[in-house]
Chains A and B, each alone.
Chain A
Amino acid sequence: MRRAFFITLAVLTLVLPLAHAAELPEWHGFAEHVYAGRISRDSLTKHDNYNILEQRLQLKTRYAVPGENFLSRWNGVLAYKGDFVLDEYFQTSGSYEVRELNLIFSPASMVDIKAGRQVLTWGTGDYLFINDLFPKDYVSFYTGRDDEYLKKPSDALRVSLYPKAANIDFVLIPHFIPNTMPEGDRLSFFDSFQRGIAGRESERNAVKPAFQAGNMQYTLRIYRTFGSTEGALYYYRGFDPAPRSYLDEAARRLFYERLDAYGASVRGPFAGGIGNLEMGYYRSRQDDDGNNRLIENSMLKWLAGYEKDLGNDLKIGVQYLFEQKLNYAQYQSALLPNDYFWDEYRHLFTQRITKLYRNQTVMLGLFNFWSPSDKDGYLRASCAYDISDQWKLTLGLNVPWGEDGITDFGMMQKNKNAFVRVRYSF
């Protein structure tokens, strides 16, 4: 992204002269090598024996605006984080991604504003998201990049208000950024146009909503604590971050249907651990009654979770997610004979175990997804060793599996891999 690079350069040139107080910002970051070898060969993708090989350099800085101008009075902080990546999988010449470039300031005591590129997260799930409809990168998730890369940045304006009764976060995202989903080059996936699991031969493409006023996304969270328990209400108006609807079957074009989401969550101490409950109602605005077979139906989602510290640096967590496709009768009767179809209900369980050894320098982690209704699952295992304050070695496994090639994890079954990450932080 050459343009992003020059924008950053321009902003830095504007801001750096402000550093007249000789207080130059500190730079930190890391250099990392990532490699993931496939456990089973997959001739569908560009390389049949690995799915990631890259070197990454991340640089970040924070800069508190000095002096006596209005921004310093408002505690203005400029934050920047960018990654240079040499991607040897695609043999590209290198890329540059700005993950954060934003200005945070408080124009009044009860107001915080964060404007610019930023990563946004809320909700109570662990790797499961109901009311967090901010963009995610599932290619990173399945290939073995750090968890940080599951979240994609948004170009957004976040206004946070803190009146006595409750806190309010309002986020405006003018430009839609979809999830990064497997597309066949790096990870094979289920492509209905190819009638099965597809790789490079996939020709489908997803059409993003145009950049215009009517396509702006808004999202709202109202939250507060009740003693030790946190409660939150959520609202989202935008698009499904994954392309689940068909725009033109003959041309193999998908699109991101309009989506409104209404939700709520609670989280707090429960039975000697932390319990959480979250629900969301997804309203598919372009197929409200469920009669259009090409557009995703409205959905209802429920999540319950529990995490407990068993002592000796051993923690466990369990979650249950329930999803219901609404207006299922209409959906069924609208289907054509050759259509793939999805069940009305989906049940998904997850389990997490984390154990630390050697004064918390060695971490063993196991995360399991398992859906009895989809008959699929996904095992994520990792072992991370903090060799020193600078060096960290992480080994891990990604093992998605399933009986069918059309379910969320089942479609990923050819992408099982073992990865290694070596990181030097500075």
Chain B
Amino acid sequence: MKKIPFFLAVLFFVSNAWAQELSVEEIVSKANNRSYYQGKDGSARASMVVTDAQGRTRQRQLTILKLNIQEGGDQKYYVYFHKPNDVKGMTYIVWKHAGKDDDRWLYLPAMDLVRRIAASDKRSSFAGTTFLYEDISGRSIDLDTHELVSSDAAYYTVKNTPKDANMVEFSYYTVKIDKNNFVPVKAEYFDKSAKLYRMIEALEVKDIQAYPTVTRMKATDLNANSHTVTEFSDIKYDVGLQEEIFTERFLRTPPQQWLKE
């Protein structure tokens, strides 16, 4: 095992000591930026396998392009479906807004149809998987109140309670955040009777272009006894995405250079 250089060890110790003193808002904000706002932009290929209670599997493969408009706030997403084959070529754009409903467009190539999607419910399934829209594009941290429930040598555990309980199906959720890099490694959702019914876990974290990145994650629905594992590949940050990618032009004519099969 390599020796850790002394100054790094000191740095680690010092930063850890600082981290101890972070407020819960700072922790949540750092974790949120880590999960959803790294780099100016990014691209990745996501392969999702949905397994139902009977063990049957379904596959989703998509390319996701992401552009940060404002850190911790507005973002634009472009999604291209590679699989399943019956939706291959379908594209999807989201303009994520902080504080109001997202704008979403779906393009169905068979009909050359651009549909505007009314989507105020962000807690519906993403493309038929166990992940919800909010898991993919992030839940605004302003929607919950945050409470640091524990802090050990390696993890913070934050309890998040919705400000408006009628908007969501959970009563609260806890998130375990790695102290070293602020990567959320596990989220647990509790229903109105405080029973755990849903989990999201980071199964693998890698440094990509120096950004700690979750490369494999799993969502489990304990009620339905089903789960989805998502593997990200070809992850790239700061690729130089232009804002025009996220418009009707590229919805209808997918940008070839970003969508290698």
Contact of B50 among A223, A225, A276, A359 (CB under 8 A): A359
The answer to whether residues A309 and B125 also contact, given A75-B257, A389-B85, A425-B85 and a CB cut-off of 8 A, is no
Query: Could you say which residues of chain B place their CB within 8 Å of the CB of A230?
Result: 116
Task: Tell me the B102-148 residues at the A interface (CB within 8 Å).
Answer: 103, 110-114, 116-121, 123-125, 127-130
B178 CB–A CB distance under 8 Å: no
Beta-carbon contact of A311 and B121 below 8 Å: yes
Q: How far is the CB of B103 from chain A (nearest CB, A)?
A: 5
A28-B88, A112-B253, A389-B83 known; A272-B226 Cβ under 8 A:
no
Q: Which of A88-96, A116-124, A292-300, A406-414 contacts B (4 or more CB under 8 A)?
A: A116-124
Which residues of chain A are within 8 angstroms of B21 by Cβ–Cβ distance?
none
Known: A77-B256, A104-B253, A160-B249. A274 touches B116 (CB 8 A): yes
* Bound complex: CA A268 to CA B104 (Å): 10
A26 touches B261 (CB 8 A): yes
Q: Once bound together, how far apart are the Cα atoms of A199 and B124, in whole Å?
A: 47
A412-426 CB contacts (< 8 Å) to partner B: 423, 425-426
Pick the contact of A30: B86, B128, B129 (CB < 8 A).
B86
Q: How many residues of B contact A (CB 8 A)?
A: 44
Known: A75-B257, A274-B116, A388-B58. A309 touches B84 (CB 8 A): no
Is B188 interfacial (CB 8 A cutoff)?
A: no
CB distance B112 to A151 under 8 Å?
yes
CB < 8 Å neighbour of B119 from A30, A223, A309: A309
- What 0/1 readout, one digit per residue, does chain A (248-291) give for beta carbons within 8 Å of chain B? 00000000000000000001110011101000000000000000
Q: Is A308 an interface residue (CB 8 A)?
A: yes
Interface residues on chain A, number (Cβ under 8 Å): 54
Nearest CB in chain B: distance from A140 CB, A: 12
A310 to B167, alpha carbons, bound, how many Å? Answer: 11
Which residue from B50, B83, B101, B249 sits with its C-beta under 8 Å from A269? B101
Chain A residue with Cβ nearest B110: A148
CB-defined contacts of B249 to chain A, threshold 8 Å? 112, 160, 162, 167
Q: Is B208 an interface residue (CB 8 A)?
A: no
Interface string of B185-202 (1 = CB under 8 A from A): 000000000000000000
Q: Which residues of A contact B83 (CB under 8 A)?
A: 389
Q: Which residues of B contact A392 (CB under 8 A)?
A: 86
A231 CB to nearest B CB, Å:
12
For residue A361, CB closer than 8 A to chain B, the reply is yes
A-facing residues in B156-210 (Cβ within 8 Å)? none
A23 → chain B, closest Cβ, in Å? 9
B116–A147 CB distance below 8 A: no
B119:A359 contact, CB within 8 angstroms: no
B248 partner, pick from A167, A312, A388, beta carbons under 8 A: A167
Interface residue? B56 (CB, 8 A): yes
A119 touches B111 (CB 8 A): yes
Chain A residues contacting B14 (CB-CB under 8 Å) are none
* Any B CB within 8 A of the CB of A307: yes
Q: Do the beta carbons of B125 and A121 come within 8 Å of each other?
A: no
A359 pairs with B226, CB closer than 8 A: yes
User: Chain A contacts of B117 at CB under 8 A?
Assistant: 274, 309
B155 interface residue, CB < 8 Å from A?
Answer: no
A290 to chain B minimum Cβ distance, whole angstroms, is: 34
In the assembled complex, A69 has its CB within 8 A of some CB on chain B:
no
CB A421 to nearest CB in B, in angstroms, measures 12
Q: Contact: B128 with A309, CB < 8 Å?
A: no
Check A312 against B124 for contact (C-beta < 8 Å).
Answer: yes
Q: A106: nearest residue on chain B (CB-CB)?
A: B253
A375 to chain B, nearest CB (A): 31
- Please indicate the chain A residues that have their CB under 8 angstroms from the CB of B125 in the complex: 313, 359-360
Interface presence of B29 (CB below 8 A):
no
Q: Which residue of A lies closest to B167 (CB)?
A: A311
Select from chain B the residue with minimum beta-carbon distance to A29. B85
Could you say which residues of chain B place their CB within 8 Å of the CB of A30?
Answer: 85-86
Does A244 belong to the interface (CB within 8 Å)? no
Bound CA span A359–B111, Å = 25
Determine the chain B residues whose CB is within 8 A of the CB of A310 once the complex forms: 121
Q: Could you tell me if B112 and A423 are in contact, using CB atoms closer than 8 angstroms?
A: no
Residues of chain A whose beta carbon lies under 8 Å from any beta carbon of chain B: 26, 28, 30, 62, 64, 75, 77, 104, 112, 114, 118-122, 124, 147-148, 150-151, 160, 162, 167, 223, 225, 228, 230, 267-269, 272-274, 276, 307-313, 315, 317, 359-361, 386, 388-390, 392, 423, 425-426
A120-B112, A360-B128 are known; give 8 further A-B pairs, CB within 8 A: A64-B256, A75-B257, A119-B110, A119-B111, A147-B111, A148-B111, A225-B247, A228-B103
Chain A to chain B: the 3 pairs with minimum beta-carbon distance, closest first: A360-B128, A425-B86, A389-B84
Can you offer 8 A-B residue contacts whose CB atoms are under 8 A? A26-B261, A162-B244, A312-B121, A312-B124, A359-B130, A386-B128, A389-B84, A390-B84
